Structure 1
Amino acid sequence: MRTLVIGDIHSGLKALKQLFERADVSTSDKLIFLGDYVDGWSDAVATVDFLINLKNTHDCIFLRGNHDELCYDWLAGEKDNPIWRQHGGSATMASYEKADAMTKKSHIFFYEGLHNYYLDTRNRLFLHAGFTNLKGVDFEYFQKTFYWDRTLWELALSLNPDLDVNDPWYPKRLTHYKEIYIGHTPVTRMGKTTPQQAANVWNVDTGAAFKGPLSLIDIDSKQVWQSEPAHTFYPNEKGRN
């Protein structure tokens, strides 16, 4: 059985389907999704429908992304957020205009059931963004940190690669887990389009909301599969700004 981690989808269902075909994803695979299922391309409703149905046939872990919470806040309470609309929310709202009440209800249930983080039996941590508590995720005071924080990735990138993990100055946040898998901050900001490792942190967000591909990684073999750049499936759309 493979354990496959999938980066930020941002409504790019067409890219996700191609990615699954290229990776030959089967029902024997465990699938861990790092969040941000919506806000980007026009397939928000279809993407969430696909993921809900996927749970019936595959072993799936769905983590909560910041965009998923923003969408939930609007969908469940019709809470207007102009900043959210400017960053992919408008496309999601347009997608939901065509959805019936039953679909919206099932999606609300899906968003409510998302996990803030997942820790497997081999002490590998999965979450959308990061955490700030030096003692680890179990001691985090602010739950929103799990899907909003960018300092974990920033810390990993800035770490001196020659610093030994047993050094007293080694960041305590990074010592609690064998590996940490995140999304949230596109590696395209670094000029990269493949999942990147810094210290024991792997960033699998390869910019599918913008001009990058959607990626998944087999966390045991570290083999990576990618779709074509997500924007090529939606040639008449702008995606995230």
Structure 2
Amino acid sequence: MSNTFVIGDIHGGLKALQQVLNRANVTTNDKLIFLGDYVDGWSETPAVLDFLIDLSATYSCVFMQGNHEEMLLKWLKKEDDNELWRFHGGEVTVQSYQNIPLRTIEKHISFLEKLNEYYIDDKNRLFVHAGFTHLKGVAFEYFRGMFWWDRTLWETAMAVDGNLSADNVRYPQRLKLYKEIYVGHTPVIRFGASAPMNFANVWNVDTGAAFTGKLSILNVDTKEYWQSDSLPDLYPAEKGRN
């Protein structure tokens, strides 16, 4: 039997990624859908990208682009050096690339350039890093950057009255388009949570690995999930940096 798993924001925490894949007993029969933000925050961004590239050689993987991948790609291609990006985890990444060979950097650039804006599976479940804004769906999105920057989709889902039926005129149109929607980008620790959160048909799998939280992997069919240790515990020498 195969499973489909969705993985939240990793942010340079290779140890956490390896933990959740082991704890979920992932096999080569399973599909792995990554929601983006693999990079920036903890010190192992190059190693995370190497691991994901190698993983995709033997596992069925779908990789979404996150906002941090957008900024890292521009830096690696020497197109932009964003001070705000450096402040929000990018500086650690810059340091981690100091002794990385050019051939590896070129491999990472190729990987980052091929990331998906979004993914819709055969059950009409949408996977996207942050969200979208167009009322007709992702295929009609005017501003492609919304896929990795938008927070209004998640905010809308959280605000939906649990007693409001989907056929009510007040029910948000965006939430009617897909059976389920899986996002990251907005850490659930902002809302006092530590596990994946669900409102309406939207699941948020960013459980704060960039900060004091854990990395999560969730089975999209059963909704069972597994988590790593907290990232500060996995990287004790780096506590307080994020």
| TM-score tier (shorter) | over 0.9
> Hey, what's the Cα distance between the residues in 2 that align with 1:176 and 1:41?
36
The TM-score with structure 1 as length reference comes to 0.98
Q: 1:13 to 1:29 in 2, by over 3 A?
A: same
> Hey, what's the Cα distance between the residues in 2 that align with 1:208 and 1:231?
9
| Aligned residue identity for 1:14 | K
Give the conservation status (yes or no) of the 8 Å contact 1:209–1:240: no
> Percent identical across equivalent pairs?
57
Q: Does 1:50 align with 2:51?
A: yes
In structure 2, the residue matched to 1:135 is 136
The SS at the match of 1:77 is: coil
In structure 1, the residue matched to 2:75 is 74
> Hey, what's the Cα distance between the residues in 2 that align with 1:239 and 1:180?
32
The SS at the match of 1:180 is: strand
1:42 is displaced (CA, Å) by 0.3
In structure 2, the residue matched to 1:177 is 178
1:160 is displaced (CA, Å) by 1.0
> Hey, what's the Cα distance between the residues in 1 that align with 2:91 and 2:116?
25
> Hey, what's the Cα distance between the residues in 2 that align with 1:3 and 1:231?
28
The SS at the match of 1:51 is: helix
Q: Please list every run of at least 4 consecutive aligned residues from structure 1 whose deviation after the TM superposition is greater than 4 angstroms.
A: none
Q: Which runs of 5+ in 2 are unaligned?
A: none
| Aligned residue identity for 1:71 | L
In structure 1, the residue matched to 2:36 is 35
Q: 1:17 to 1:99 in 2, by over 3 A?
A: same
In structure 2, the residue matched to 1:96 is 97
Q: Which runs of 5+ in 1 are unaligned?
A: none
User: Which stretch shifts more, 124-133 or 159-168?
Assistant: 159-168
| Aligned residue identity for 1:5 | V
> Hey, what's the Cα distance between the residues in 1 that align with 2:162 and 2:44?
40
The SS at the match of 2:53 is: helix
1:209 is displaced (CA, Å) by 0.5
Give the conservation status (yes or no) of the 8 Å contact 1:41–1:239: no
In structure 1, the residue matched to 2:162 is 161
Give the conservation status (yes or no) of the 8 Å contact 1:10–1:37: yes
Deviations, residues 143-190 of structure 1 (Å, cap 9, x unaligned): 000000000000000111111100111110000000000000000000
Give the conservation status (yes or no) of the 8 Å contact 1:63–1:116: yes
1:77 is displaced (CA, Å) by 2.1
> Hey, what's the Cα distance between the residues in 2 that align with 1:98 and 1:19?
28
> Hey, what's the Cα distance between the residues in 2 that align with 1:38 and 1:108?
13
> Hey, what's the Cα distance between the residues in 2 that align with 1:214 and 1:206?
6
| Aligned residue identity for 1:229 | S
1:78 is displaced (CA, Å) by 4.6
1:25 is displaced (CA, Å) by 1.0
1:18 is displaced (CA, Å) by 1.0
Query: What is the number of equivalent residue pairs in this alignment?
Result: 241
